[in-house]
Structure 1
């Protein structure tokens, strides 16, 4: 049998296209009302978030269909974050501001703030939000109802990503592309195995008893990638986790521009794809399907491979509500994603620390 690169490229493209088709069919947005007595604690860690915290809180306080409280933890902000929260709290008793203690050794900032927020919370369910997330009015009720109806300990979803610059278009859309095209089952609960678990750290709702049973954020105190590692931890302990369609639940503008996006994805990469064993495989899988076919044109198999990957990207873009113009950037987005991962691996091998919000971290080994 002769070696035919075009056929190999086509096979590499068929896998994400087929996986994505199934995952898009399975993906559903939660809705409904949770049982009587449900209280959702919306917990927001905030460090220098003056530009975001007001709209985030206002959207959280506008929740319908479930009782809520909102607790914001000021984590050493040097801007006007706590003043904004205090002004809003004076108008709504459901909002509280708490201050983070000094960061202990061995903790990442967000994990420490979230752990302390869980201690301040009174709810039956804990909904952790990043400050740049804006909840839709029925989001908290829908997430809690889904958790109760299906016995899910951790429900997560990727908010609709607001993308306003080319730099963001080259980076942010890869989140949904990888989740949809390369995770069998798309993080749905029936997949069960920890290796098939995933989540989004921007918006995660926990059933409180399950959260406390696994040790809460203290069990992952050093992680920089809670969206990946928390679902794995929960499943390893026997709990069910699930990703739901998040685009109708919330919006988020993660980063502003290419530089901020590069740094943001770089800090998480070491706990994801950027491992010495995993990254070479990921490079072959991604480059082979999304980039290699360009070099094999005009072979029919190469045209078909490109048609499949662009169709997948367009279908994901439509479903998650991202701008259509980002589809044209897809090949460059794959190049940038791999560049981020290889940069993260090289920095890890050199012992470099990653920084975020004025703190430096040596990322833990990926599980």
Structure 2
């Protein structure tokens, strides 16, 4: 693996691996695009070498040719957004097929996900940018594609093989397919549901399982992911109130992805929570209703995507996320001007808003 001297780093280069200090704390996460602040920070921490994947220009390539670094241009944001929008649009067609009572063939659904599989397995540029884009289509379709993407990534972070990653992504895509049989006046209600309406909504997991079980070639693990994605390890979920040892591995993956996506999305009756706020929620719930190990794996990996984002703190100051911590991914290190605030120690400070998310 290629190492580059920190003194030779330039803004725009991409880290190939996490950078750790002597205590095993992540300083900057893998796949971060380095800026001048990152580089100066690495120098202050006396880091000598880092693994670099890419830079933006041919001059970068020539200046580091002795290290045999391979450089790739990242997709433009418009290219990434187009890929994402296309996936959402195609899924809308599949959803409407189910709604009309026509069950799509397995290959049609797989065709939708092929670009997604490729992105999850090989394209870090896509996965890094997808957190910043949203479809302009209906929430149901945008949410399903986003849950699919995150489910596949989480499966990858959990070290599953390619088949396991694809099954997780497919279960994520289809997890809410049962909602096509929920009355529109309930599904699209611009406000919280009452008790009776919620009882109807809760049937969507079972309805989804019934819809997809007759699709030839679909994996049983995918079916369980759809059926059980609202179950909880402490038995408080639905439709059957099963506990963690009865839940499929796939369902545990999709449940974490579903919670994260739902809470970070704007709804008519509820504004989106920022990712670090959701991380705090998941950390609290992973000790009870969500799978502990899977939740920690998810948060420790996803937090890397927010390094470099600007935030506003609850004291009104604005700064940049410099690094995140595996032991507490909800409370990162923030640089405000020339000062650094470790939110693990400054318990009076909270991130109030993500300014570039």
Q: How high is the TM-score relative to the length of structure 2?
A: 0.27
Which structure has more strand as a fraction of its residues?
Answer: 1
Q: How high is the TM-score relative to the length of structure 1?
A: 0.27
